Chains A and B, each alone.
Chain A
Amino acid sequence: MLLPLWGPHLGGGCVQPGQVASPQRVEIHKLRQGENLILGFSIGGGIDQDPSQNPFSEDKTDKGIYVTRVSEGGPAEIAGLQIGDKIMQVNGWDMTMVTHDQARKRLTKRSEEVVRLLVTRQSLQKAVQQSMLS
């Protein structure tokens, strides 16, 4: 059964099935909605948050920033970002040791229209196992 995570992706991240976890580069072009530039996903985590409640992390002490939701048809989904991805860098800025608010600020800079993310995701096999168990 195919994973629901796999959505259409045009350009941007090169995701191949069967690959072991390796950092992926995802380039998201922000969408202008009124006054705001939105990316179309939600983040969770941070060094000021409780890491044990993170459903996506393998190691429950990991205080990194994770993608918790990807909106349908949004720029992030188009770019190939998936739910459960851990964001390591945003435009060269480190995201592994930041607070939740700092992460949000780094992603939503008004001056930037394109953000390049370095993400890691769990290997395909582990993701399949998890989806079968749930």
Chain B
Amino acid sequence: ERNRERHKSPRNKDGRGSEKSVTIQAPTGEPLLANDSARTEEAQDDNWGETTTAITGTSEHSISQEDIARISKDMEDSVGLDCRRYLGLTVAAVLGLLVFLTPIAFILLPPILWRDELEPCGTICEGLFISVAFKLLILLIGTWALFFRKQRADMPRVFVFRALLLVLIFLFVVSYWLFYGVRILDSRDRNYQGIVQYAVSLVDALLFIHYLAVVLLELRQLQPMFTLQVVRSADGESRFYSLGHLSCPSSTVLSPKGPSNNATGQSRAMIAAAARRRDSSHNELYYEEAEHERRVKKRRARLVVAVEEAFIHIQRLQAEEQQKAPGEVMDPREAAQAIFPSMARALQKYLRTTRQQNSHSMESILQHLAFCITHSMTPKAFLERYLSAGPTLQYDRERWLSTQWRLVSDEAVTNGLRDGLVFVLKCLDFSLVVNVKKIPFIMLSEEFIDPKSHKFVLRLQSETSV
């Protein structure tokens, strides 16, 4: 994982030290980088159930020379990109502040500069002041809601629409200032009501631009126009996602990272299986797979029974009962630790058979068990996380295989999605091939059928002996 948020402090994972370098803080818990994480994993393996695998020196946890070169290059790249992202943000913030203060300036400057010559303006102006104040408040809230949201990813290019809107706002405000400067400041206009109404018209126009921003940035993309077919290169598993009009980079972020789960485990399994199969016939393949299925099912049955029996022993104490036996009362964490040994072996065997053992550490399992106990979940609810593969997000953060992806395509990335576009998302372990298909234009026509027109006739074919 290459963490882009370098300004944040390093997350301190439970029981793992964090690596610190001088300027850049690398995240911990990466399967490819941190050597101490491999060490702590070994310690866990020894204590947890029985182990039959040996971790050799040249496992997937070691890094090679080219990895180091790639990592250092990426670090340099991302520093530059961070600057660019923050530059864009600061420009937008400055412009927003300027735009926000402009109506206030329009209203305040005449009294400051030529108060004596101004015509007095009574209730009408006060009414206009109130409306300006509320409209500015609404604009402020709307801008915060629309623009100040945490970005989920760092795109390689600037949002076209956002840039367009910024330019539009800039030109708009500049033209208003020009008019104001020439017609009002220079000539020292005395009609204060007119000036205030001018400021009100500016705020109205800003609200309309905000409406335009909502339509362009949000509404236009909601209607599904394209279907993305995402195929994982490691094993061919594919999913379909529907999207509206977006650009390439946006679409990659919005389609959830579902396909990435278990990819590493499965790719390793594929390689191993292919090596074994090199000389086997199809018959042996069939029997091998049938045998594996059978083994998985048997272990799963054992696991379910073990977990159910373990859960029976835990009982929730009601409030009144809690005072009765203070010695035996446990909090969820202790309860989890108490029943965990009885199911640990069955669970570990099952995880090994389904090659999930690297996705779940003992600590994560205990946490999950305590969570289930706290919320009075059934054994099936506890097991569901291990029995069925889910999206990558459900695994702990340190198990995330990658947050850095590269977008590879033979078309310019800022183009919008179009039918037949194919691009590849690459991360270190595998790649996802994305195929964009346009949702077909459906021509729907109406046809009325009279209910009385449903008539039937029997068609026979008899055979008679004579």
Count of A-B contacts judged by CB separation below 8 Å: 40
B461 to chain A, nearest CB (A): 4
Chain A contact patch, size range: 20 to 34
Interface pair A44/B462, CB less than 8 Å apart: yes
The B-contacting residues of A in range 36-79, CB under 8 angstroms, are 38-39, 41-46, 48-50, 52-54, 68-69
Q: DSSP class of A's interface residues: helix, strand, loop or mixed?
A: mixed
Interface pair B461/A42, CB less than 8 Å apart: no
Interface pair A49/B465, CB less than 8 Å apart: no
B8 to chain A, nearest CB (A): 76
Q: Mark B307-318, 1 if CB is under 8 A from A, else 0.
A: 000000000000
Interface pair A38/B466, CB less than 8 Å apart: yes
A16 to chain B, nearest CB (A): 26
The B-contacting residues of A in range 80-95, CB under 8 angstroms, are none
Interface pair B461/A50, CB less than 8 Å apart: yes
**Residues of the A chain whose Cβ atoms lie less than 8 Å from the Cβ of B465:** 38, 41-42, 69
Q: Mark B329-361, 1 if CB is under 8 A from A, else 0.
A: 000000000000000000000000000000000
**Residues of the A chain whose Cβ atoms lie less than 8 Å from the Cβ of B461:** 44-45, 49-50, 53-54
**Complex Cα gap A62–B461 (Å):** 13
**Residues of the B chain whose Cβ atoms lie less than 8 Å from the Cβ of A44:** 461-464
Q: Mark B292-321, 1 if CB is under 8 A from A, else 0.
A: 000000000000000000000000000000
The number of chain B residues with a CB under 8 A from chain A is: 8
Interface pair A69/B463, CB less than 8 Å apart: yes
B459 interfacial by beta-carbon distance below 8 Å: yes
**Residues of the B chain whose Cβ atoms lie less than 8 Å from the Cβ of A45:** 461
A104 interfacial by beta-carbon distance below 8 Å: yes
Nearest-CB residue, chain A, relative to B460? A49
**Residues of the B chain whose Cβ atoms lie less than 8 Å from the Cβ of A42:** 463-466
User: What are 16 A-to-B residue pairs whose CB atoms are below 8 Å?
Assistant: A38-B465, A38-B466, A39-B466, A42-B463, A42-B466, A44-B462, A44-B463, A49-B461, A49-B462, A50-B461, A53-B459, A54-B461, A100-B460, A100-B462, A104-B466, A107-B466
